[in-house]
Chain A
């Protein structure tokens, strides 16, 4: 059954000139995305910096207000409900944040940090706080004694574990992992990834895994979506997309990713230019200025993405000019 569904989600930021206080531009950070995640599965979300993937995660958690679109949790629309109602829903959707160094209140002990979610959502009675905290610490691989310590007494990897423990404390169904390992040493990364995977199996969790490193995604996800300038350009089962990328952007990404095999031949696809600013999204297919295979139609008409199949792509190379909704 579908845990989460996102429909036509958009987020636009307005730029204001500080001096005059007028709007000078708009940033379409997320420009209409659609996807769904089945229970117990992981959707990986990849893209460059500026593609809008982190924003997507925050939109789902309502840390930012969507400009448009709908988010549903287990079939229920959670994007229009009041703040108060949503706070109760937060029990079910949690987030593991990117930066383990700044995401925990450094004036609270670990115990306090973990107790507070328990308290807010009344997971256990106050008398059982201590036990539950110890249990959570155990799950993420930390010792009971750690509960009296402060965040700055831990390493980055350990702090990320605390962050995970906190996310688990409310016994959520769905967790957004926003680049949870990007700030960690490579040696530590795999530990955390494995932890996340184990937890998923054990507690039947659903993940949205946001990252910009492809190897990580491959390891973790069941499906993967590729974002570019606020849109999903390709989405499908992870094996499919990795082995047989369709969108030129995806192909370029894959080629840039290092392969452990030193003897494998690499075909680097180089893209022209840099990713343009989200202020000035090109007309038509937003990728067309950099696309090695751009066609005339790409400059004019935006290609649409088809869902409900195992491997969809938004590219005129694969569609006719009229869109087909199957």
Chain B
């Protein structure tokens, strides 16, 4: 027995076991823990041991180690043990990638240097000297501390870290390989190999490598340990992978950023503060540090154990490798092929092996079970962009008609209404003299007087009216004999310092205002109209009165920014005109006489309508909570009537995508377990005014699901843009209602996106600075959801411009959007299976 014990290579055994444990945590984290690494608990009753007994106490986060959280929780209330288990994957990814890259660089260089090429040896030496003079830690810290790296999402962060740490650290490995190579080259048998007639390359491959590889393998393991070590150090200096965010409601705990992804390094980032201020909370640092210890030990021991193992003259492996080369050589294969009669057995065997290997690698990822037909989606886009819908403006006939189209289509697919009706209606007109309501000005023209002549300019061809004084909507008495509202006046150039213009004569004056690009004109007007006066030239319009004695605010905005863009007209406390080029030139300079005639605008006459429909799932008939998947897509747009050049398609893409998804899901033979609900939002386009936003109506005032009755996951379908932007933006938000599988949904989603080869960028919308464009619907619906995902952006530079056409839509991206949603619902097991 003792002899047997003596023969066991303990470092290898122990190290091997530890590595296996880590690999297990890497592949099957759910087996080791049943909690979600991202779920935050603020306060709860915990059971701790006091005097040998389990006692229940009330505690707030961070929880000390207790019965449920065996390693306690972090300051956001997330279970540390679970985060360590899930974090194994991310941390190991970095470590393994770094070492892999380092070997790629270090091996050839080390071998070449060890075989005698002085220049390479010098190069390695230089690198080494430099990076020992300045500790690698310092350099890595300086580089990786750049904000760009700090804010990368986890996949890119891993790659970025790997590259940086490789560049910094490859030389140590290279010099170890170089030394070992030199050692081997000094052995006696090398002389014999030279005598036989081998060139250096042959000696390198045939003699050196078999001797070197065992050493390199053990170097590799030890190197992994060293990288983990470095990662631990870096994280103490708050450099770790993964995005970070401000934890909600942590203001009193101090201003710090917490990591989002589970990863060992991020858990150590608070170490200095913990040690300084919170030494009664040492578990926050101790357990992650122990995790690193575990990892480093595992790889170090394995490496050392391997080294010991290879010192024994265990050459069978090497001969086996050599045989392998003979077997795999294509030249040999060819020769055997030519003498097929004699060598048919090996030839057959090899051919079979090759076919098997090719087959395995080209075996595609699991195909989508249900296909999103982009052609059908395209027909929806074409239909909804048709001029008969006049741009689908909410509250007007075109918008209403488009709603009908959608309802009819859904009915044809067999979708049922939620409760009784397919629609949820809301007011688009505020009787009290609404501010910032949509209007349609159908007819208007401007006359510019040059002496006796008058040049006429027409709305939508030569100018647009983004804002109309709200009084105009209601005072029909205010029209002149021909039924037009009119203004007369002389233009004056407006100076910043003037708050009012002295009117020295009976003439009315119309200010010409140059505006800078402060962004969306409507958002500006909205903000300013609210009474928030900012220091800018676009407010404080001087008063100009109309011949009938009523004061108006009228201004002409001198800008070319909106020449080719659709803008809706809103009611406001001033009237604004944006002239196009020709008119601009006519009005150039001061003292031009002009008159504006406006037909009283059309007011919204139809209610806004959110359209809802469901595909009942297996759980539809059951008692108790029924889990839903809700898919929301805005279907409204900006008014196009009278503007022939426009057939804006981008705003039609979400509805088109969603309709096709509805068709695919409704055509499934086997029903889904969860019920799927489709909502088509009305009034979503453009943020203002928010009370006309369909999603606002839905979530805040009209229909809120009882959390207990209908827990739901929300999927938001955003816009698909033109060719220029082809990366699918995805926003992930974790709902207030806790979901144990949300983290896994997300990792499966990432995997599927890669399998579908979709070019995407994922943002976590709880990050403080999320770059994604999160729609209002997504924010609103996320409140009560278990989990929310938004596919696509709500911003595009080409929306409603002349380039926004049916033909220009990036249909490939649209297909990707539709397909990933279909696949997630039908194939992502974490999403499609109810938790009860």
Q: Name A166's closest neighbour in chain B (CB-CB).
A: B196
Q: Is the CB of B194 within 8 A of A116?
A: no
- Measured CB to CB, the closest approach of chain A to B161, in angstroms, equals 37
* Interface bracket on B: 20 to 34
Q: What's the Cα separation between A107 and B197 when bound, in Å?
A: 19
Which of B187, B192, B199 has the most CB atoms of chain A within a 10 A radius of its CB? B192
Q: Is the CB of B197 within 8 A of A104?
A: no
Q: Is the CB of B335 within 8 A of A87?
A: no
Q: Which residues of B are found within 8 Å of A94, using beta-carbon distances? A: 195-196
Fill in one digit per residue for A91-112: 1 if any B CB lies within 8 Å of its CB, else 0: 1001101010011111111001
Q: Is the CB of B196 within 8 A of A106?
A: no
Q: Is the CB of B194 within 8 A of A108?
A: no
Q: Name B188's closest neighbour in chain A (CB-CB).
A: A102
Q: Is the CB of B194 within 8 A of A117?
A: no
Fill in one digit per residue for B281-304: 1 if any A CB lies within 8 Å of its CB, else 0: 000000000000000000000000
Q: What's the Cα separation between A124 and B361 when bound, in Å?
A: 37
Q: Which of B305-359 contact A (CB under 8 A)?
A: 313, 315, 318-319, 322, 331-332, 335-336, 339, 343
Q: Is the CB of A63 within 8 A of B319?
A: no
- Measured CB to CB, the closest approach of chain B to A325, in angstroms, equals 36
Q: Is the CB of A120 within 8 A of B202?
A: yes
- Measured CB to CB, the closest approach of chain B to A250, in angstroms, equals 30
Describe A's contact surface by its main secondary structure: loop
Q: Is the CB of B315 within 8 A of A107?
A: yes
Q: Is the CB of B319 within 8 A of A126?
A: no
Known: A107-B211, A107-B318, A150-B315. A117 touches B335 (CB 8 A): no
Known: A97-B192, A112-B322, A126-B331. A106 touches B315 (CB 8 A): yes
Q: What's the Cα separation between A41 and B424 when bound, in Å?
A: 111
- Measured CB to CB, the closest approach of chain A to B453, in angstroms, equals 94
Q: Name B208's closest neighbour in chain A (CB-CB).
A: A105
Known: A120-B202, A126-B331, A127-B335. A104 touches B189 (CB 8 A): yes
A152 within 8 A of partner (CB) = yes
Q: Name B326's closest neighbour in chain A (CB-CB).
A: A126
Which of B189, B195, B313, B322 has the most CB atoms of chain A within a 10 A radius of its CB? B195
Q: Which of A69-100 contact B (CB under 8 A)?
A: 84, 87-88, 90-91, 94-95, 97, 99
Q: Is the CB of B322 within 8 A of A116?
A: no
Q: What's the Cα separation between A128 and B189 when bound, in Å?
A: 26
B191 within 8 A of partner (CB) = yes
A5 within 8 A of partner (CB) = no
- Measured CB to CB, the closest approach of chain A to B812, in angstroms, equals 51
B523 within 8 A of partner (CB) = no
* Interface bracket on A: 20 to 34
- Measured CB to CB, the closest approach of chain A to B227, in angstroms, equals 30
B617 within 8 A of partner (CB) = no
Q: Which residues of B are found within 8 Å of A166, using beta-carbon distances? A: 192, 196
Q: Which residues of A are found within 8 Å of B194, using beta-carbon distances? A: 63
Q: Which residues of B are found within 8 Å of A286, using beta-carbon distances? A: none
Q: Is the CB of A105 within 8 A of B207?
A: yes
Contact of B193 among A61, A105, A163 (CB under 8 A): A105
Q: Is the CB of A99 within 8 A of B192?
A: no
Q: What's the Cα separation between A170 and B198 when bound, in Å?
A: 12
26 contacts between A and B (CB under 8 A): A63-B191, A63-B194, A84-B199, A87-B197, A87-B198, A90-B196, A94-B195, A99-B188, A102-B189, A103-B188, A105-B189, A105-B192, A106-B313, A107-B211, A107-B315, A107-B318, A108-B207, A108-B318, A116-B198, A117-B197, A120-B197, A120-B202, A127-B332, A127-B336, A150-B319, A152-B313
Q: Which of A's residues lie within 8 Å of B, judged by CB?
A: 61, 63, 84, 87-88, 90-91, 94-95, 97, 99, 102-109, 112, 116-117, 120-121, 125-127, 150, 152, 163, 166, 170
For the complex of A and B, list the 9 residue pairs with the smallest distance between their C-beta atoms, beginning with the closest.
A90-B197, A102-B188, A105-B189, A107-B318, A117-B196, A107-B315, A103-B192, A95-B195, A107-B210
Known contacts A87-B199, A95-B192; can you find 12 more A-B pairs with CB under 8 A? A63-B194, A87-B198, A97-B195, A105-B211, A107-B211, A107-B319, A112-B322, A116-B198, A116-B206, A117-B197, A150-B319, A152-B313
